Chain A
Amino acid sequence: MAEMAVIKTPAETALSVAFATAKGKLPGAAALRETAFKRFETAGLPHRRVEEWKYTDLRALMRDAKPLAPPPDAAAKARASNAGAAFAAVEGRRIVLVDGAFVPELSDLAGLEPGLTIRSMAHALATGDAAVATRLGQVVPTDNVAVALNTALMRDGVVIEVAPGAALARPLHLVFFNAGGAPAAVFTRSLAVIGKAARAMLIESHEGVAEADYQVNTALEIAVGDEAHVDHIKITGGGAGTLHVSSLMAAIGAHARFNEFLFTTAAAVVRNQLFVHFKGEETVAGIRGATLLNGKQHADTTLVADHVAGACISREVFKTVLDGESRGVFQGKIIVAPQAQKTDAKMSAHALLLSEEAEADSKPELEIFADDVQCGHGSTAGALDDDLLFYLKARGIPHKEAESLMIQAFVGEAVDGIEHAGLRDTLIDHVAAWLKTRE
């Protein structure tokens, strides 16, 4: 049978040209890149007839492909000098990437705790670092097209290793800064390997100048060892015109604790994909998120929590607040393998619609192959309760303030799951700042 002629979109064509032009200059992993790009070329940009991308039609949303970002110049680095300052209360170790390139001179690399190493992904790829090569793309293997594109075009990122038993006193704060000189595409790939019984907190904040016209494809692989305790918090902000696609591949060992939190308020289009693999028994995980959107923003959270090992507990709580003509998407799938008995997984997704034009799409799925499990999901979408608003107003609280109180309470249920008090307070302030923009 003759192969169907596939007509490429301008963005797909531009990506093919970009790959052909850039691949000789991209650091290392040539074979891996070629295979990944073939995967992308075969599939093309995902569109609404691809179930995983049903609500976020990347083919329609990406009218063009921006040129690959050049290495940041002095001016771009200067603009990034204050990046991450909003999280000062966290007192983290700041690691700065500007336009996708790791910038050691802006990063706080002095006095690393024993057992902690931080290096450039570009360098690791260029030198064929064996520890990275064996892990890359292998933490949670996926044929996801956005991940394939990331693998093909990844330029830099960070490689973090925390030795077994090491406990990091300070959170690691990865600041991804879009300097916004000209429209650009940024592909970053990072890897974190957290050893057995180690303790680490990883914060990712994606920031940028307001006018940045960027396409960001960022991916992080985290391997969490047995008995380790890892918190990962990703904050997506900055650059009102930005298209931001993010993938997290996390594999969790046995008797571990893993807390994931996604906080999203900015960018024009956001797709946060999470692939969480429960590889060892009796791990406890919280996977939560809060999204606040207005205008014409679109944010999609797509989660696959794959319980391969038994007796793990996972709690998924996602809250979305939608104003204006924004659209919030939640797709959450819990898979329980036949051998993963005694799995306890509960997922909830709630959307609050503040305007008539806002839209919430929710698709929870359970795929359970074991017979002795406790799994459930709940999903709601609705407006603020008029009777509750009246109760608050009858006590003297003006309408907008009453709405704000209720919105804070709504997202609070998710934000309260963050263990770090400084970060929790910072995000509560972020919510308050977002609410101020409504007034």
Chain B
Amino acid sequence: MALLEIKNLHVSVDGKKILNGLNLTVEKGQVAAIMGPNGSGKSTLAHVLAGKDDYEITEGSVLFEGEDLLSLSPDERAAKGVFLAFQYPLEIPGVATMMFLRTALNAQRKKRGQEELSAPDFNRRVFDAAAKLGIERDMLRRGVNVGFSGGEKKRNEVLQMALLEPKLAVLDETDSGLDIDALKIVSDGVNRLRSPERSFVVITHYQRLLDYIVPDVVHVLSKGRIVRTGGKELALELEAKGYAQYQEEMA
């Protein structure tokens, strides 16, 4: 059984159709890249998977481990193992990162019927994961993402991913706004989390990110549906030729 199975998904926002019969299967342990031009529906797909409620799903189904994902609330999806790394991580003044991480982790554990982590155990996990990403302890005591640079915010997303240990991580344009050094740190963080038990959907406009996070499969998204699927070399082809041919094919 595939980990994620999207069938004939139609999604509208404010009456405008964004996803248009999208089909996508992600196998367990697979890293699937989704590439596409601006406005093709990449971020919509990410948000629909995480459960944002501004989207109207008019048709289709999404199965996660064979279970209907669309009927679950965002927090229930997270507890099942779905994680969205935001393109624009938000700032939460007044909520310290440590507090945020502990609340999130324990809420998920509680929902899965697991014990809450003890404070020392939790602290050790956070400090270990943070050290690997070059996140200073001082940053963990500050409000979530408050005053963080673009790169620090993305590293913080990867830190959350490392702690929450999802089964499916959806990376929404994680490369946007990153310089090459930050991109390397973030990619290394993601690569450390790759495992046969964890799948990734890596959404990106550019091939550059895929030099660092090498995908098993590349899907091309255009006008709300997957129009081509291939190996990692497809990303290079797109980089060379651009998306024009797919947009025309659809027209």
Contacts and interface: CB of A to CB of B under 8 A. Distances in A.
A391 B94 contact: no
A413 B53 CA distance: 29
A388 B104 contact: no
Given A391-B86, A401-B103, A396 B79 contact: yes
Interface in B154-202: 160, 164
A413 B74 CA distance: 28
A104 interface: no
Contacts, number: 73
A387 B95 contact: no
Interface in A377-404: 387-388, 390-399, 401-402
Interface in B58-106: 73-75, 77-79, 83-84, 86, 89-90, 92-95, 99-100, 103-105
Contacts of B143: 409
Given A390-B52, A391-B86, A391-B89, A396 B94 contact: no
Contact of A393 (B73, B83, B92, B95): B73
B224 interface: no
B107 A398 contact: yes
A276 B104 CA distance: 43
B92 A406 contact: yes
B75 A397 contact: yes
Nearest to A395: B104
A408 interface: yes
Interface in A401-428: 401-402, 405-406, 408-410, 412-413
A406 B103 CA distance: 12
Given A390-B52, A395-B104, A413 B90 contact: no
User: Would you call the interface of chain A mostly helix, strand, loop, or mixed?
Assistant: helix
A360 B235 CA distance: 54
B190 to A, nearest CB: 17
A256 B147 CA distance: 33
A219 B213 CA distance: 67
B141 interface: no
A409 B94 contact: yes
Interface in B25-65: 50-53
Interface in A274-318: none
B50 A408 contact: no
A394 B90 contact: no
B107 A401 contact: yes
Contacts of B90: 387-388, 391
B125 interface: no
Contact of B160 (A393, A395, A398, A413): A395
The interface centre, meaning the residue of A395, A401, A406 with most chain B CB atoms within 10 A of its CB, is A395
Interface string A152-169: 000000000000000000
A410 B94 contact: yes
Contact of A405 (B50, B79, B103): B103
A401 B108 CA distance: 12
A409 B108 CA distance: 21
Interface residues of A, number: 21
B111 interface: yes
Given A391-B86, A391-B92, A409-B94, A397 B103 contact: yes
Contact of B111 (A396, A409, A413): A396
A394 B94 contact: no
Chain B interface size band reads 20 to 34
Nearest to B84: A394
A405 B95 contact: yes
Given A390-B52, A401-B107, A396 B75 contact: yes
A396 B95 contact: no
Contacts of A410: 94
Contact of A390 (B74, B93, B160): B74
The interface centre, meaning the residue of A390, A412, A413 with most chain B CB atoms within 10 A of its CB, is A390
A285 B103 CA distance: 35
A393 B75 contact: yes
A409 B97 CA distance: 12
B104 A397 contact: yes
A90 B2 CA distance: 58
The interface centre, meaning the residue of B79, B83, B93 with most chain A CB atoms within 10 A of its CB, is B93
Contacts of B73: 393, 398-399
Contacts of B93: 409, 413
B107 A396 contact: yes
Given A391-B90, A394-B84, A395-B164, A406 B95 contact: yes
Contacts of B86: 391, 394
Contacts of B99: 405
B119 to A, nearest CB: 17
A102 to B, nearest CB: 39
A396 B103 CA distance: 9
Contacts of B52: 390, 394
Contacts of B94: 408-410, 412-413
A396 B94 CA distance: 19
Contacts of B53: 390
Contacts of A388: 90, 92
A393 B51 contact: yes
A221 B14 CA distance: 58
B89 A396 contact: no
Contacts of A387: 90
Contacts of A412: 94
Contacts of A399: 73, 75
A402 B53 CA distance: 16
Top 5 closest A-B pairs, CB basis?
A409-B94, A396-B78, A396-B108, A395-B104, A393-B74
5 contacts: A388-B92, A390-B53, A391-B86, A395-B100, A406-B92
Given A395-B164, A396-B79, 19 more contacts: A390-B53, A391-B86, A391-B89, A393-B75, A394-B52, A394-B77, A394-B83, A395-B75, A395-B78, A396-B105, A396-B108, A397-B75, A397-B104, A398-B73, A398-B75, A398-B107, A405-B100, A409-B92, A409-B94
